[in-house]
Structure 1
Amino acid sequence: MTMLIVFGGLPGTGKTTIARQIAARRSALYLRIDAIEQAIRQSGVLAADVGPAGYVVANALASSNLMNGLTVVADCVNPVRESREGWRATAARAQVRMVEIEIVCSDPIEHRRRVETRREDIDALILPTWQDVLERHYVPWEEPHVVIDTAVLTPDEAIAVIELHINA
Structure 2
Amino acid sequence: MLVVFSGLPGTGKTTIASDLANRTRAVYLRIDTIEQAIRNSGALAQDVGRSGYMVAYELALSNLRFGSTVIVDCVNPVIESRKAWSEIATRAGVPLVNIQVICSDKREHQRRVETREIDIPGLMPPTWKSVLDHEYEAWDNAPFNIDTALITPSDAVELISRRFLSGD
Q: TM-score, normalised by structure 1?
A: 0.96
Specify the alignment match of 2:106 in structure 1.
108
For the pair 1:77 / 2:71, whether they are aligned, the reply is no
Give 2:96's aligned amino acid.
Answer: M
5+ residue gaps, structure 1, are none
Deviations 1:32-86 (A, max 9, x none): 0000000011111111111111001000000000001111000000000011111
Q: 1:59, 1:32 → 2: CA distance?
A: 11
SS at structure 1 position matched to 2:139: coil
Matches within 5 A, 1:58-69: 58-69=56-67
- Poorly superposed stretches of 4+, deviation over 2 Å: none
Specify the alignment match of 2:147 in structure 1.
149
Specify the alignment match of 1:94 in structure 2.
92
SS at structure 2 position matched to 1:96: coil
Specify the alignment match of 1:38 in structure 2.
36
Q: 2:138, 2:108 → 1: CA distance?
A: 21
Deviations 1:105-137 (A, max 9, x none): 000000000000001100100010000100001
Give 1:100's aligned amino acid.
Answer: N
For the pair 1:26 / 2:24, whether they are aligned, the reply is yes
Question: Identity over the aligned pairs, expressed in percent?
Answer: 56
Q: 2:82, 2:42 → 1: CA distance?
A: 27
SS at structure 2 position matched to 1:100: strand
SS at structure 2 position matched to 1:62: helix
5+ residue gaps, structure 2, are none
Give 1:106's aligned amino acid.
Answer: S
* TM-aligned CA deviation for residue 160 of structure 1: 2.0
Moved more, 126-135 or 151-160: 151-160
Output the aligned Cα RMSD: 0.9
Specify the alignment match of 2:48 in structure 1.
50
Q: 1:64, 1:37 → 2: CA distance?
A: 19
Give 1:36's aligned amino acid.
Answer: I
Q: 1:137, 1:33 → 2: CA distance?
A: 16
Specify the alignment match of 1:10 in structure 2.
8
Deviations 1:116-168 (A, max 9, x none): 00011001000100001000011121213100000011112211221233146
Give 2:38's aligned amino acid.
Answer: I
Q: TM-score, normalised by structure 2?
A: 0.96
Q: 2:66, 2:43 → 1: CA distance?
A: 29
Q: 2:162, 2:143 → 1: CA distance?
A: 13
SS at structure 2 position matched to 1:20: helix
